[in-house]
Structure 1
Amino acid sequence: MKKFIIPLMLLFSGTVFSQISVGTPTQENNKWTFGGGIGLGFGSNSSFYLQASPRVGYRLTNDLEAGVVGSVSWQTSDYFRSTMFGVGPFANYYIGRSFYLGANYQHYFINYRDKYYDYKYNREENALYLGGGYMQRIGNNSFMQIGLMYNVLYKERTSVFSSGLIPNIGFVVGL
């Protein structure tokens, strides 16, 4: 099963936190941000992966943003099919527009079906991702983020995820 979970999480980790936050041009009276991320993957054994993670945030200060992020992913192959939904709050603190610290809590609903053994299960799992990284300006108020997050609730033997460490690359527009 880990043979399927590891590729799923590699694809999932690269996209779930790769988010584009789109806000209106920097106006002091509009503090809402909107955005999300999309992931797509193909592999051997007719595997296909699609992921989307919309989000809405509010700038509490110029350096602190909080909001709600959701995620949905579908993965299928000749051997299995899975669907995962997640939702939860997030907070990002920006340090001099060069670094960021982040926290993201997700409650996942997982539906998995093994086509080979005709085995199905539904379960739920919580994840609390803490981490941070580097931000590189790529435009007027656009940034690329490169960082690491770690799921502090990860338990190796009981988790559907293959690891607690999640690398991320993302974009933020409108900060």
Structure 2
Amino acid sequence: MKKFIISLFVMISGVLFSQVSVGASPESTNRWTFGGGIGVGFGSQSAFYLQASPRVGYRLTNDLEGGVVGSVSWQTSDYYRSTMFGVGPFLNYYIARTFYLSANYQHYFINYKHKYYDYKTNAEEDALYLGGGYMQRIGNNSFMQIGLMYNVLWKENESIFSTGLVPSIGFVVGL
């Protein structure tokens, strides 16, 4: 199942990016946007983290965009292994194509297994990320986004996440 979902995300991303690059120009009347981010992390006890988050948006106005973002992540260490899938809507407001404000709701499905205690659990959690950041143009209508988001639904000792603060780096094509 995991291999199928990973393959599906890769194929969708490839198709979307290839369709955007054909004939895309700053004067384009196409209002669809595509993008996403990738994350990799390493830590103690052989910890490894891999995350991908493809997104599809639609420019409601020149400065306002709404859409859907998905996320999938895998974490493993000497002690545990987890898989997490998330999906939800987002809304971005762009300020002079240099800065952006963002709201992103995600509903997560989590599968967690502790390797030594034979403990397994499936859980769900909601997150509402609010924040913003800086945008750097990398092409005619392509941008890299660097920002900081905060999950306003995060509660210490009740969340699977260790903090509500989340740095973000991503790319968007079609603005």
Same fold (TM over 0.5): yes
* Letter in structure 1 aligned against 2:124: E
Higher relative contact order (CA 8 A, sep 6+): 1
* Letter in structure 1 aligned against 2:34: F
Q: State how far apart, in whole Å, the 2-side matches of 1:63 and 1:124 are.
A: 33
Identity fraction in percent:
80
* Alignment map for 1:4-153 (pairs within 5 Å): 22=17, 23-24=20-21, 25-26=24-25, 27-153=27-153
Distance 1:37 1:169, change over 3 A: closer
Q: State how far apart, in whole Å, the 2-side matches of 1:46 and 1:89 are.
A: 34
User: SS where residue 154 of structure 2 aligns?
Assistant: coil
Deviation at 1:116, TM superposition (A): 1.5
Deviation at 1:85, TM superposition (A): 0.6
Q: State how far apart, in whole Å, the 1-side matches of 2:50 and 2:94 are.
A: 30
Q: Report Cα offsets for 1:35-90 as digits up to 9, x if no partner.
A: 22222334443333222211111111111111111111111222111010100001
When structure 1 is superposed on structure 2, of 22-31 and 164-173 the one drifting more is: 22-31
Aligned to 1:6: none
Count of paired positions: 155
Conserved? CA contact 2:136–2:143, under 8 Å: yes
* Letter in structure 2 aligned against 1:34: F
Q: State how far apart, in whole Å, the 1-side matches of 2:153 and 2:137 are.
A: 32
Q: State how far apart, in whole Å, the 2-side matches of 1:166 and 1:42 are.
A: 16
Deviation at 1:124, TM superposition (A): 0.6
User: SS where residue 117 of structure 1 aligns?
Assistant: coil
TM-score norm. by structure 1 comes to: 0.80
User: SS where residue 159 of structure 1 aligns?
Assistant: coil
- Consecutive unaligned residues of structure 2, counting only runs of 5 or more, are 1-15
User: SS where residue 133 of structure 2 aligns?
Assistant: strand
User: Does residue 169 of the first structure (1) align with residue 169 of the second (2)?
Assistant: yes
- Consecutive unaligned residues of structure 1, counting only runs of 5 or more, are 1-20
When structure 1 is superposed on structure 2, of 35-44 and 130-139 the one drifting more is: 35-44
Q: State how far apart, in whole Å, the 2-side matches of 1:87 and 1:45 are.
A: 30
Pairwise CA RMSD: 1.9
User: SS where residue 108 of structure 2 aligns?
Assistant: strand
Q: State how far apart, in whole Å, the 1-side matches of 2:151 and 2:85 are.
A: 17
